[in-house]
């Protein structure tokens, strides 16, 4: 339940689903309530009309108890003068000794005598005459649609029997559909103009809501598709976020996305240009210094201090050259990856191939490189970027591994992430420097325990390249010391 509430409170789709559920539940609840109220109202109204029909029967009873022709004339006149001008009354008689033959004696409002047969036939068509035998056993309410001979539709509302020596008299009351009572009984509340208008407005609200939801989801999917194209293939698409947006309120957001993409592209170009400019700017002074010390080698041959100074200068120039090249690689790697064309790559296969390649090079020094795998693990990246990550991680692990040490690379899938773990058996890193080893120009590992053949100086560029590459690919990197000794670096990539 908590997870469901969190989904509704945070997710746009969750809110849309909850809104759709409410759109279905609320009308159902209201309909049931209104239907129940309408049924109670109709029942009350029918009973009221039945009482009114009973009053008509009671008013006619003194006349109908007489059986002469005069009484029939008085009954017809009494019906015609009935005080309620909305009620229609039909008087029928089933003579004594007959089982189901009813005759129409009089109607109100009065009809021509020639119309009585037509009126009786219309009553017979409704099936009401077949029910009069049952009605003679007791008063019953009705709600039967009836087309009178006058051309106006009526609703038969009640049947009131009266037993006399002449037979069974039946007084049928009805109302015209144009009257309020008749109209409300003949038509369900769902067909009322007000209810239909409310249903139409509710349908319009649902339609507008669905259009808003669909429009928003379509725009979000367009945003996602275009962003994926830009991330995986650089600025290859001619479309912009503003062009794929159909909702006016999202155009300012789309414009900001377009400007952000332009800024990233401009930053990538600036990084490449700056890297090249810096290299060219440093190459000249470094080359001049290198050439300038050549004439000093011969005079300093016999002076130990001068010879030592020249060696320091040469080492410094070599370090400076390596630093310049490392910084260039760092900036170019990040800049090129921003606009690179990404694809789905099996990190397991690439890790196995890289382990085999490093094993062939460093196996003779007693270092074992093992690649553990649990199946294919796809990552959205470039082959070069992942190779750069693996190469720098293995170079770092090899340089600090002891003779006969083992380097283990493990690729697993954890939830929606692909996890790469590289472990060595060196002396690890001081705890307070674990976060610093990924910074540019920072290098800290004890030299004790390193392979004797690995004496290349470290300038803190390799792991900095790894971190920047991983972060551009949307991943995370962290380092920790192994309890049994050595360093463990864990990288989580988004699964493709």
Higher pLDDT among residues 125 and 183, named by residue: 125
pTM for the full model? 0.51
In the predicted structure, residue 453 carries a pLDDT above the cut 50:
no
Higher pLDDT among residues 471 and 281, named by residue: 471
> 70 exposed, middle or buried (CB, 10 Å; 0-12, 13-18, 19+)?
exposed
Report domain 38-191's class: alpha beta
For 216-242, how does the pLDDT look when each residue is reduced to its tens digit (9 = 90+)? 888 888 888 888 777 766 555 567 888
The answer to which of 35-49, 347-361, 451-465, 474-488 has the lowest mean pLDDT is 451-465
Query: Which pLDDT does position 393 carry in this prediction?
Result: 93
In the predicted structure, residue 490 carries a pLDDT above the cut 90:
yes
Distances (CA, A) of 489 to 287, 435, 463: 38, 11, 10
Whole-angstrom Cα distance, residue 368 to residue 405?
A: 6
Query: Which pLDDT does position 419 carry in this prediction?
Result: 94
Q: Decide whether 38-191 matches 342-494 in CATH topology.
A: no
Query: Which pLDDT does position 451 carry in this prediction?
Result: 46
DSSP for 373-389, please give it: E-S--EEEE-HHHHHHH
For 181-217, how does the pLDDT look when each residue is reduced to its tens digit (9 = 90+)? 555 665 667 777 778 888 888 888 888 888 888 888 8
Indicate the pLDDT class of residue 454, thresholds 50, 70 and 90: very low
Query: Which pLDDT does position 211 carry in this prediction?
Result: 86
CATH of domain 342-494: 3.30.565.10
Where are the chain's structural domains?
38-191, 264-334, 342-494
User: Which sign does the torsion angle of CA 247, 249, 253, 258 carry?
Assistant: positive
The answer to which of 96-105, 323-332, 476-485 has the lowest mean pLDDT is 323-332
> 355 exposed, middle or buried (CB, 10 Å; 0-12, 13-18, 19+)?
buried
Higher pLDDT among residues 449 and 301, named by residue: 301
For residue 234, is it left (φ>0), alpha (ψ between -120 and 50) or beta?
Answer: left
Nearest to 438 by CA among 323, 330, 355: 330
Average pLDDT in the 425-448 region?
Answer: 78
């Amino acid at each position: 339940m908590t997870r469901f509430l969190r989904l509704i409170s945070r997710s746009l789709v969750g809110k849309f689903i909850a809104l759709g559920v409410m759109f279905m539940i609320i009308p159902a609840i209201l309909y049931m309530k209104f239907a129940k109220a309408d049924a109670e109202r109709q029942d009350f109204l029918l009973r009221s009309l039945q009482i009114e029909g009973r009053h008509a029967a009671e008013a006619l009873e003194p006349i109908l108890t007489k059986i002469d022709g005069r009484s029939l004339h008085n009954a017809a006149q009494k019906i015609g003068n009935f005080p309620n001008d909305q009620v229609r009354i039909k008087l029928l008689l089933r003579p004594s000794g007959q089982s189901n033959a009813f005759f129409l004696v009089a109607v109100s409002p009065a009809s021509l005598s020639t119309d009585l047969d037509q009126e009786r036939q219309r009553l017979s068509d409704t099936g009401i005459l077949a029910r009069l035998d049952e009605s003679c056993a007791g008063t019953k309410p009705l709600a039967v649609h009836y087309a009178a001979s006058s051309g106006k539709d009526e609703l038969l509302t009640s049947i009131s029997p009266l037993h006399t020596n002449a037979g069974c008299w039946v007084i049928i009351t009805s109302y015209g559909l144009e009257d309020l009572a008749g109209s409300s009984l003949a038509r369900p509340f769902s067909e009322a103009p007000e209810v239909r208008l409310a249903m139409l407005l509710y349908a319009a609200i649902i339609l507008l809501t669905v259009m808003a939801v669909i429009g928003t989801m379509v725009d979000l999917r367009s945003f996602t598709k275009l962003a994926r194209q830009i991330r995986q293939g650089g600025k290859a698409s001619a479309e912009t976020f503003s062009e794929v947006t159909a909702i006016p309120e999202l155009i300012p957001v789309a414009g900001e996305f377009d400007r952000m993409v332009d800024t990233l592209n401009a930053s990538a170009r600036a990084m490449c240009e700056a890297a090249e400019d810096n290299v060219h700017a440093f190459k000249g002074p470094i080359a001049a210094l290198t050439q300038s010390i050549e004439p000093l080698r011969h005079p300093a041959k016999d002076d130990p201090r001068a010879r030592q100074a020249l060696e320091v200068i040469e080492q410094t120039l070599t370090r400076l050259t390596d630093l310049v090249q490392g910084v260039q690689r760092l900036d170019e790697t990040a800049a090129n990856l921003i606009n690179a064309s990404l694809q789905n790559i099996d990190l397991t296969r690439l890790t196995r191939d890289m382990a085999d390649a490093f094993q062939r090079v460093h196996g003779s020094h007693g270092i074992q490189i093992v690649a553990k795998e649990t199946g294919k693990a796809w990552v959205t990246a470039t082959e070069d970027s992942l190779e750069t990550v693996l190469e720098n991680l293995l170079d770092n692990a090899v340089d600090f591994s002891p003779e006969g040490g083992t380097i283990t690379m493990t690729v697993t899938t954890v939830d929606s992430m692909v996890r790469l773990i590289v472990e060595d058996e060196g002396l690890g890193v001081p705890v307070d420097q674990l976060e610093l080893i990924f910074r540019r120009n920072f290098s800290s590992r004890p030299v004790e325990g390193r392979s004797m053949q690995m004496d290349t100086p470290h300038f803190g560029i390799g792991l900095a390249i790894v971190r920047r590459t991983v972060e551009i690919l949307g991943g995370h990197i962290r380092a920790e010391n192994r309890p049994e000794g050595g360093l463990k670096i864990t990288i989580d990539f988004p699964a493709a």
